[in-house]
Amino acid sequence: MAFFTGPRLLDFANSPPHLQFNKYVLTGYRPVSSVQDCLKSLFYLHNELGNIYTHGIPLVGFLILLPFSIPWSQINVTWLGVVHFLACLSPEVGSVLYHLFMNHEGGASVYHTLLSLDMFGVCMVNTLGALPIVYITLLCYPIMRTMALLAYTILSAYGVYCAVTARTNVRRLRSFAWQALFRFFLFMLRWSGVGTGSPSSLRHFLTMDFLAMLGGLINISRIPERYRPGLFDYWCNSHQIMHVLVVVSIVFLHWGMVEDLLWLNHYHCPLE
């Protein structure tokens, strides 16, 4: 994709120090740029183009398609649909802004602000995406449901702090561990029959978490570029693979939530 001729690209050694976070990506770095020049980089090939479009295209698709696929007329608790919609959009928004403007002339301070925004978006899909799951899983236990929603929100706030202050990919991934364990506990409640929800949604949620975790592990392991430095500078490197897996995981989250919302419209808790 090269509608315009871009500036001369840099190699790893000559790129800004704050952009030297993947030593296996050797070429294709954009020089320090203004906002206008960053926007122009949407139209020529560089090593962040794939990262921008692997989340930018799904963002546009989700904005257009998700509102029509959420069964609004059949949702008894409207906030569940709103929160789910925001959860599906949040990681793409932060990611696109981060990858598009990471070489901004503001330097390292702007870069770290954008990185924090990116991490905040990831935290939001973990937080907002799970709140409807908590609500529906504990539907018939109002007191426990309220306590679980509060506990998960507090846990998520701590996860946000850990993610935005982490200085390595490994620590950022670890920031989401407690949220993942909390969700796994909810899934066990559903599997055991104690929790409630659509019988077919659980497999979607488990697939969602598996894909998201796999993407995170691929990203921190720098596979495949660590085995062939320079070969994956522009396409199919670990971060792009993670982006694709994250988008697919959000699709599974959406499928599971739609089934839960339809189920919720017809389910009545048994009388004590």
DSSP assignment string, 16-46: -GGG---TT--S-BPPSB-HHHHHHGGGS--
Average pLDDT over residues 242-248: 98
d(CA 23, CA 168) in angstroms, rounded, equals: 14
Residue-wise pLDDT for 252-266, tens only, equals 999 999 999 999 988
User: What residue numbers does the annotated binding site for Zn(2+) cover?
Assistant: 99, 239, 243
Average pLDDT over residues 244-251: 98
User: What residue numbers does the annotated binding site cover?
Assistant: 99, 239, 243
Rg (CA), the chain: 20
Average pLDDT over residues 151-170: 86
Mean pLDDT of the chain: 93
Q: Does the residue 227 lie in any domain?
A: yes
d(CA 185, CA 195) in angstroms, rounded, equals: 10
Number of domain units in the chain: 1
Q: Does the residue 255 lie in any domain?
A: yes
Supply the pLDDT for residue 164. Answer: 80
Q: Does the residue 199 lie in any domain?
A: yes
Residue-wise pLDDT for 85-127, tens only, equals 999 999 999 999 999 999 999 999 999 999 999 999 998 999 9
Average pLDDT over residues 223-228: 97
* Encoded tokens for 132: 């409807």
Q: How confident is the model at residue 4 (pLDDT cuts 50, 70, 90)?
A: low
Q: Does the residue 59 lie in any domain?
A: yes
Minimum mean pLDDT range among 44-48, 62-66, 71-75, 98-102: 71-75
Q: Does the residue 87 lie in any domain?
A: yes
Average pLDDT over residues 135-150: 96
Average pLDDT over residues 163-173: 81
- Residue 52 pLDDT greater than 80, yes or no: yes
- What pTM does this model have? 0.92
| Residue 71 belongs to domain spanning | 53-264
Supply the pLDDT for residue 165. Answer: 84
Q: Does the residue 206 lie in any domain?
A: yes
- Residue 142 pLDDT greater than 70, yes or no: yes
- CB contact set of 235 (below 8 Å; sequence gap of 6+): 50
Rounded to the nearest 10°, the torsion over CA 170, 60, 236, 256 is: 60
Q: Does the residue 182 lie in any domain?
A: yes
Q: Does the residue 204 lie in any domain?
A: yes
